[in-house]
A and B are shown apart, each in its own frame.
Chain A
Amino acid sequence: MAEHIVKSFDQELLELRNMIAEMGGYAEKSVLDSINALMRRDMEQAERVIALDGTIDALQRAAEERAILVIAKRQPLAQDLREIVAALRVAGDLERIGDLGKNIAKRVVAINGQMQGNKIFGGFNHMAELVLEQLKQVLDAFAQRNVEEALAVWRSDGAVDAMYTSLFRELLTYMMEDPRNIGFCTHLLFCAKNIERIGDHATNIAETVHYLVTGQSPSGERPKNDTTSTMPVEFPAVAN
């Protein structure tokens, strides 16, 4: 892209991009560390993730202020305007991702000592890996303005939803097996939902990349495989 005649405009856009890139790095770290804290029951790491959220929030506020200032000063049009709108949207998604990471970390602290060596963590790990890969890929796509890569992330969200649905079922069976599992299984269910939502935010970012480059949202229905909100849960008949 050719440079603006006013060089400081380019500089302002570059600074905004850098702020988003920095936020993206922190958001990835928040997700990765919160999952690791969950896998290893690492309280210290969980505390660090909780503290990191403040940094992400502050960056989002700074990026928003910067974006508003650029709009006021430059009255951007066409791809310049989309660039700023995209930065605002992505900053919002990344901030939410930070919140979700923090929420997982808080639950790690909450269920400290209650967790049993369950095979369920394998499922978590797998889902988290997939979401982290999506997040990384979509942030790369955003940095490189790569629509194809963004669309690949957009299409892959269905797989995360499917994993979440299967985790949901699995956690239900543990709860049915033994009511003492209900406490920590509920926390784990929220953790799984958080990871699934992080995937949704990655999908949002993919849509934003598409808008940024083409001026349009991706066409067609967003892939969805999360059926848990309509899934009936039947408790097995109690034997007398």
Chain B
Amino acid sequence: MSEIIKVKDLCLWYGSSQALKNISMDIPERSITAFIGPSGCGKSTFLKTLNRMNDLIPDVKITGEVKYDGRNIYGPGVDVNDLRREIGMVFQKPNPFPMSVYDNVAYGPRTHGIRSKAKLDEIVEKSLKNAAIWDELKDRLKKSALGLSGGQQQRLCIARSIAVKPEVVLLDEPTSALDPISTAKIEELIDELKREFTIVIVTHNMQQAARCADVTAFFYLGNLIEVGQTMQMFSTPNDRRTQDYITGRFG
């Protein structure tokens, strides 16, 4: 399996406090990579460095490199908007725009210049189908997205993020605000999505990482402690700290 993202010696500071310390790892293409670790370990910060979401935070300093498709995304001449079209993101809390279901999904394609109604219809339908929510919403496309349940909103957000045909989808604790059934639907969806996309997911739910991910990385105090095949990470981790964390001995 080839690597779509290669991270080398990445450090990140919020002001004077260092949140990421010399992270080096590769993200394999068309697979699911999970980041786990206790709160404040840097996993979400690291996820956000992959599509430069941290640029928005004042006083952030980043060194090292993140190579996407062979190019350092922190290098000169990188268009952040193009980057985020290639590397999309879904957040912990569903954040649909206050507009119709249809317009939520069509928003990205429209900003990228697609105007044709037929083309947009096609994208909306395909994205909603990919996000496994088409059947539930096909008769409510003109209704406000804010009237949907939390689980539906989150799948709509996933549909919105894949509507612009990204290569990579970053998911920051996508199910932490959802009930078990909605969570199961999202997990099922993620499993489907990896055929077309590379998925990177931050999760606090160890079982979720164990169930979904092909590769799991464990972060602690800003360090990448261990990364490996999920099976191995959850059955015979090499590092004592990984073992203690996944078995609930600290955190």
Contacts and interface: CB of A to CB of B under 8 A. Distances in A.
A2 B250 contact: yes
B243 A78 contact: yes
Nearest to B240: A2
Interface residues of B, number: 15
Contacts of A78: 234-237, 243, 246-247
Nearest to A1: B249
Interface in B189-240: 206-207, 210, 234-237
Given A75-B207, A78-B243, A79-B243, A9 B236 contact: no
Contacts of B234: 77-78
A72 interface: no
A5 interface: yes
**Interface SS majority for chain A:** loop
Interface residues of A, number: 19
Nearest to A80: B247
A9 B206 CA distance: 16
Given A77-B206, A78-B243, A79-B243, A3 B236 contact: no
A223 interface: no
A103 B140 CA distance: 70
Contacts of A2: 244, 249-250
A74 B247 CA distance: 9
Contacts of B246: 77-78
- Which of A1, A74, A79, A81 gathers the greatest number of chain B CB atoms within 10 Å? A79
A215 B235 contact: yes
A6 interface: yes
Interface in A1-15: 1-6, 9
Given A75-B207, A78-B243, A215 B250 contact: no
B236 A5 contact: no
Interface string A215-235: 110000000000000000000
B115 to A, nearest CB: 50
Nearest to A82: B235
Given A2-B250, A80-B247, 16 more contacts: A2-B249, A4-B247, A4-B248, A6-B248, A74-B248, A77-B206, A77-B210, A77-B234, A77-B246, A77-B247, A79-B247, A80-B248, A81-B235, A214-B236, A215-B235, A216-B236
26 contacts: A2-B244, A2-B249, A3-B249, A4-B248, A4-B249, A5-B248, A5-B249, A5-B250, A75-B206, A75-B207, A77-B210, A77-B234, A77-B235, A77-B246, A78-B234, A78-B237, A78-B243, A78-B246, A78-B247, A79-B243, A79-B247, A80-B247, A80-B248, A81-B235, A214-B236, A215-B236
Closest 7 CB pairs of A and B: A215-B236, A2-B249, A80-B247, A77-B246, A77-B234, A4-B248, A75-B207
